Amino acid sequence: MKIDVLLGLQWGDEGKGKIVDVLSPKYDVVARFQGGPNAGHTIEFDGKKFVLHTIPSGVFNPGCLNLIGNGVIIDPLILQSEIKKLNHSGIDITKNLFISRKAHLILPTHRLVDAAQEAAKGAEKIGSTLKGIGPTYTDKSARNGIRIGDSCLDDFQKRYQTQRERHLKLVSSLGFDYTDYAIDGRDFAAYETEWFEALEGIKKLQLVDSEYFINEQLVAGKRILAEGAQGTLLDVDFGSYPFVTSSNTTAAGVCSGLGVAPGAIGKVYGIFKAYCTRVGSGPFTTELFDQEGELMRKQGNEFGSTTGRPRRCGWLDLPALRYAVMLNGVSELIMMKADVMDTFKTIKVATAYRYKGEEITHLPFDASTQNLEPVFHELKGWNTSIEQIRAEEDMPAALIDYISFIEDYVQVPVRIVSTGPDRIQLINRSV
Ligand code: GDP
Ligand code: IMO
Ligand code: MG
């Protein structure tokens, strides 16, 4: 069997959680391969809404095993609170959840370093989610990190203290007074105490050597779906660096984040919104600052699932989408939030950029909002509510034209169109 991949093609929040949940009945295992609690994946059904940060989005399907892979970084306190919230809704995931021993721990002091580094950057800040992502991946690469599996070893306390001291020195060298800083509403000492308590709980879950786990599942003929977090334009190598996250969000990250060989990768589902959004800083060529952008934010409820921050909104950027399709080898597209465009009389899409006096269709090395001006193509809006549409043949002609225009540009078919947040709000296309 092959391992299929579902990942975001824009700056995150494309709707990955919803579609992984929808596809999960077709899979035996859903596995997260990168990122951490900077992710916020929303799933809605039967009038209930769940936001997952670390736990894979297959958990609502009782027949599915869920793996947090080695490439993921874990804050035990956040993971524990996710598990508790699910428990309160009557969902016990402990039997179906597996955690890689090699997944790195986000320490309480990583949260402080993240905050201190962002504060020190001032106006140049990344707009990080402040979950400690950058500092944890930095320590992983610098070979200072501590993995979940290490927390079961005798020298864990010693290693923890060494890291803690090093981080506190760094924080103080940046002039950051952490005694004034609240981590998720708690002062540092309280957070650290609860963090250790949560870690003890997490250690009782099913910790596995995940590279063996996943390859054994493959050999046994199990169907596996790898669930991406963030999006391609936030990839540490190919995103709008330095305004990116600290992991490989692209398909390449699946191999290193789970321990599977490139030949094991099957389909790659690429998911994108019918427009664009971005949270945090960094270039966004097609960003809107007018009423149309405001309308997208309102209609799409574009406020961060993890931080609650308003998301920046703008038109679909086709050169960027084609770039993402190329990097990931996308075989099928999924277009989300088409319903958000229901009231737009006309819809624009960027088909090229004006850059240093030339018209180009690739993303140049120094892509920035200052030196890239979008060239737009305008299409007719469908101007009717599509929220209740479930059948392909009921799609308005203008929506079909919009999809065809995108397909012609990126040369990959759009297989699913999402028309609302609920699990059932979907149109499957036969093309
Ligand atoms: P993820 O991080 O990619 O899983 O996406 P998020 O959960 O952060 O953000 C997507 C948001 O859009 C969530 O609030 C979803 O409930 C919502 N959503 C998903 N699909 C649709 C859709 O087709 N239409 C609308 N209106 N909302 C959607
Ligand atoms: P999901 O999985 C949207 C953004 C942050 C910031 C940058 C770096 O829900 O799509 P970090 O905390 O990773 O150091 O922040 O990346 N970012 C996301 N934006 N969706 C996400 O995840 C994101 N995870 C990180 O806003 O600009
Ligand atoms: Mg999200």
pLDDT tens by residue, 40-62: 999 999 999 999 999 999 999 99
Q: Given a cut of 80, is residue 306 above it in pLDDT?
A: no
Compute the Cα dihedral for 5, 329, 429, 303 and give only its sign: positive
Structure-block tokens of residue 193: 């105490």
| Single-letter residue type at 158 | K
Q: Is the CB of 305 under 6 A from ligand 1?
A: yes
pLDDT tens by residue, 139-153: 999 999 999 999 999
Residue nearest to atom 14 of ligand 2 (CA): 128
Name the phi and psi angles at 140, rounded to 5. Answer: -60, -50
1: confidence class by pLDDT, cuts 50, 70, 90: confident
CA of 315 to the centre of ligand 3 (A): 19
Q: Is the CB of 233 under 6 A from ligand 2?
A: no
Three-state secondary structure string covering 71-82: CEEECHHHHHHH
Q: Is the CB of 229 under 6 A from ligand 2?
A: yes
Q: Which of 41, 53, 110, 167 is catalytic?
A: 41
pLDDT tens by residue, 115-142: 999 999 999 999 999 999 999 999 999 9
Q: What percent of the chain shows pLDDT beyond 70?
A: 100
Residue nearest to atom 13 of ligand 1 (CA): 42
Q: What percent of the chain shows pLDDT beyond 90?
A: 97
pLDDT tens by residue, 149-183: 999 999 999 999 999 999 999 999 999 999 999 99
CA distances from 323 to 286, 290, 329, 409 (A): 15, 27, 10, 11
Q: Given a cut of 90, is residue 3 above it in pLDDT?
A: yes
Structure-block tokens of residue 400: 């079909």
pLDDT at 226: 98
Q: Which of 13, 28, 75, 235 is catalytic?
A: 13
CA of 323 to the centre of ligand 2 (A): 19
Whether the Cβ atoms of residue 378 and residue 347 lie closer than 8 Å to each other:
yes
* Mean pLDDT, residues 387-415: 98
Average pLDDT, the chain: 97
Contacts of 388 (CB under 8 A, 6+ apart): 419
Q: Is the CB of 418 under 6 A from ligand 1?
A: yes
Contacts of 304 (CB under 8 A, 6+ apart): 13, 40, 129, 279, 310, 311
Q: For the beta carbon of residue 414, count every other beta carbon within 10 angstroms.
A: 21
Rounded Cα distance, 76 and 84, in Å: 12
Query: Buried b vs exposed e over 208-236: b needs ≥16 C-beta within 10 Å?
Result: bebbebbbebbeeeebbbbbbbbbbbbbb
Residue nearest to atom 16 of ligand 1 (CA): 421
* Mean pLDDT, residues 276-298: 96
CA of 14 to the centre of ligand 3 (A): 7
pLDDT tens by residue, 313-353: 999 999 999 999 999 999 999 999 999 999 999 999 999 99
pLDDT tens by residue, 89-122: 999 999 999 999 999 999 999 999 999 999 999 9
| Single-letter residue type at 104 | H
Q: Is the CB of 8 under 6 A from ligand 2?
A: yes
pLDDT at 426: 97
Q: Is the CB of 128 under 6 A from ligand 2?
A: yes
pLDDT at 309: 86
* Mean pLDDT, residues 250-276: 98
Q: Given a cut of 90, is residue 380 above it in pLDDT?
A: yes
**118-127, 305-314, 395-404, 420-429: least confidently modelled range:** 305-314
Q: Is the CB of 10 under 6 A from ligand 2?
A: no
Contacts of 171 (CB under 8 A, 6+ apart): 109, 112, 113, 116, 178
Task: Name which of 314, 246, 245, 249 is nearest 278 in CA terms.
Answer: 314
Task: Name which of 261, 266, 281, 269 is nearest 228 in CA terms.
Answer: 269
Q: Given a cut of 80, is residue 275 above it in pLDDT?
A: yes
Q: Is the CB of 35 under 6 A from ligand 1?
A: no
Structure-block tokens of residue 173: 């060298």
Q: Which ligand is nearest to the CA of 228?
A: 2
* Mean pLDDT, residues 7-34: 98
Rounded Cα distance, 9 and 236, in Å: 14
Is 53 part of the annotated catalytic residue set?
Answer: no
Rounded Cα distance, 97 and 94, in Å: 5
In a mutational test of the pocket of ligand 2, which residue from 33, 279, 309, 336 has the highest number of ligand atoms less than 8 Å from its CB?
Answer: 279
pLDDT at 267: 98
Whether the Cβ atoms of residue 272 and residue 334 lie closer than 8 Å to each other:
yes
CA of 19 to the centre of ligand 2 (A): 19
